[in-house]
Amino acid sequence: MSEEPRVAVVGAGIVGLCTAYALLERGVEVRVYEQGVPGNGQSGGSSRIFRHAHDDPRLIAATQESRDLYDRWGQELEVEMVSGDGAVAIGPAVESKLPLLQEAGVAARRIDAGELAAVQPLLAPYDGPAMLDERGGSIRTTAVVDALVAPLGDRLVRDEVLSVRPVADEVEVRSSGSTHRYDRVAVCAGRGTAHLARTLGLALPVQDGAHVRLTFAVRGEPPQRLATLQDSSGVFGETGVYAAAVPGNAEYAVGLSQTTRARDDASLPDPDELADLAGRAAAYVRRALPGLDPEPVDVRHCWVTTLPWGEDGVGVWERDGVLFPAGHNLWKQAPALGTRMAGGLVAQTLHPDLHPSARLGRG
Ligand SMILES: Cc1cc2nc3c(=O)[nH]c(=O)nc-3n(C[C@H](O)[C@H](O)[C@H](O)COP(=O)(O)OP(=O)(O)OC[C@H]3O[C@@H](n4cnc5c(N)ncnc54)[C@H](O)[C@@H]3O)c2cc1C
């Protein structure tokens, strides 16, 4: 690090890493605090879905920005960040989502049963509404995290931040092993963000939930092309299923978008609910994805943080020179969100869509 940074980022999940990379792109020195292993919080595990489909046209536009950034950063860092296999959606949601995508100029189109079987060969026969988002695909999560951590070098400090507070016209960050002051700070601490915000008297309307996703082995040869899947059809017994491929297409991660709500103290009202969700995901695989061996080979349990205005809701709160982003399904939003926050940290003005009152991503 050439000079003492004037900006800090708390948290090296995908949002913090994208914010830090966007700051470095602007020639801004930054320090990144991470209490654990980078990319092992909500951002952990292999693969995520990159899709453009959203109910809110503003979020479609932000996702288009993110897709271009994943491509450009991937070239700069010489790593594939999103697979080129596409994102498939089946079920009634296609009818409302496809027109919005086409209006936004996203390369998305209706596909028939034959083409569906070609891009999603694991799925049982299905002839209802189906669409393909050609620039959607599986996010290479581990490769992305490693690629964004590498340029940070000693700017990344393994330390837990206990408080952020304004001191004169600066922001003081107290972490387990140090106290530093900055001009601006972004708290991208996932589930830890609301806690640090409350220290400054800011109550973020975030609902914590616990979530489970299972990974299954592909039967036989891994397919050349394996699109991600969202199933709202109910034809196979569930209406909120998502799935993405692990690099190499030999494994497929499947989950129900439902989460089990957590109490404020992080305890779970119903201890059986996570097991029920896992059981339902495995039962769905037996019915819908004959191309998979129904015995799970891996599991991911993690917290999710959802805003009241929608599962894809995202917003950034601001107080005393500190930015507090919050929301869910942020892997696909992170490059644009991080870039817009970097702009807000440098220019002191945040993109208007990110203001909480804009309710970005509302359903
Ligand atoms: C199973 C599952 C499937 C998902 N599927 C998708 C999908 O298909 N597409 C999609 O876009 N999104 C998906 N999501 C959501 C997405 O993963 C999250 O929205 C995203 O990872 C959030 O990233 P983040 O950087 O905000 O949080 P995190 O990854 O949690 O990062 C926060 C970091 O801050 C650190 N930290 C916390 N407190 C402190 C502190 N006080 N001091 C220092 N460090 C601290 C943590 O250790 C952590 O590393 C999924 C999530 C789950 C769990």
Angle at 280 (CA atoms; ends 309, 94), nearest 5 degrees: 50
CA distance 5 to 353: 28
Atom of ligand 1 nearest to the CA of 242: 8
Asked whether residue 109 falls in the same domain as residue 180, the answer is: no
Let me know: does 60 contact 106? Beta carbons within 8 Å: yes
- Considering only CA atoms, which of 150, 145, 134 is closest in space to residue 51? 134
Atom of ligand 1 nearest to the CA of 305: 19
Residue 1: what pLDDT?
A: 59
Residue closest by Cα to atom 14 of ligand 1: 329
Asked whether residue 301 falls in the same domain as residue 256, the answer is: yes
The tens digit of pLDDT for each residue in 13-29 reads 999 999 999 999 999 99
Average pLDDT over residues 216-225: 98
Distance 333 CA to ligand 1 centre (A): 12
In a domain, 81, yes or no: no
Atom of ligand 1 nearest to the CA of 36: 47
At 350, which amino acid appears? L
Ligand 1 pocket: which of 329, 333, 337, 354 to mutate (most atoms within 8 A of CB): 329
Question: Domain containing 354 — which CATH number?
Answer: 3.50.50.60
Reduced to 3 states (helix: H, G, I; strand: E, B; else coil), residue 232 is: coil
The tens digit of pLDDT for each residue in 246-265 reads 999 999 999 999 999 999 88
- The H or E element containing residue 171 is strand 170-175
In a domain, 284, yes or no: yes
- Considering only CA atoms, which of 139, 141, 117 is closest in space to residue 50? 139
Asked whether residue 169 falls in the same domain as residue 295, the answer is: no
How many whole angstroms from its chain centre is CA 133?
18
* Alpha-carbon distances, residue 85 vs 63, 119, 328 (angstroms): 17, 7, 23
Give yes or no for residue 348 having a pLDDT over 90: no
In a domain, 26, yes or no: yes
pLDDT category at 321 given cuts 50, 70, 90 is: very high
In the numeric block, which tokens belong to residue 139?
A: 């996010």
Average pLDDT, the chain: 97
Asked whether residue 215 falls in the same domain as residue 320, the answer is: no
Asked whether residue 160 falls in the same domain as residue 251, the answer is: no
Give yes or no for residue 2 having a pLDDT over 70: no
The tens digit of pLDDT for each residue in 294-319 reads 999 999 999 999 999 999 999 999 99
Question: Domain containing 225 — which CATH number?
Answer: 3.30.9.10
What is the widest separation between alpha-carbon atoms in the chain? 65
In a domain, 78, yes or no: no
Asked whether residue 224 falls in the same domain as residue 257, the answer is: yes
CA distance 178 to 201: 23
Residue closest by Cα to atom 31 of ligand 1: 13
CA distance 166 to 176: 18
Distance 19 CA to ligand 1 centre (A): 14
Asked whether residue 323 falls in the same domain as residue 278, the answer is: no
Asked whether residue 248 falls in the same domain as residue 125, the answer is: yes
Q: What residues does ligand 1 touch, defined as CB less than 6 Å away?
A: 10-16, 33-36, 40-43, 48-49, 160-161, 188-190, 192, 211, 213, 242, 244, 255, 300, 302, 304, 328-332
Distance 63 CA to ligand 1 centre (A): 17
pTM of the model: 0.98
Give yes or no for residue 3 having a pLDDT over 80: no
Residue 37: what pLDDT?
A: 97
Number of domains in the chain: 2
Torsion, Cα of 44, 49, 51, 57 (10° steps): -40
Atom of ligand 1 nearest to the CA of 326: 26
In a domain, 15, yes or no: yes
Distance 106 CA to ligand 1 centre (A): 26
CA distance 253 to 171: 41
Range of 293's domain? Answer: 87-134+207-306
Asked whether residue 122 falls in the same domain as residue 251, the answer is: yes
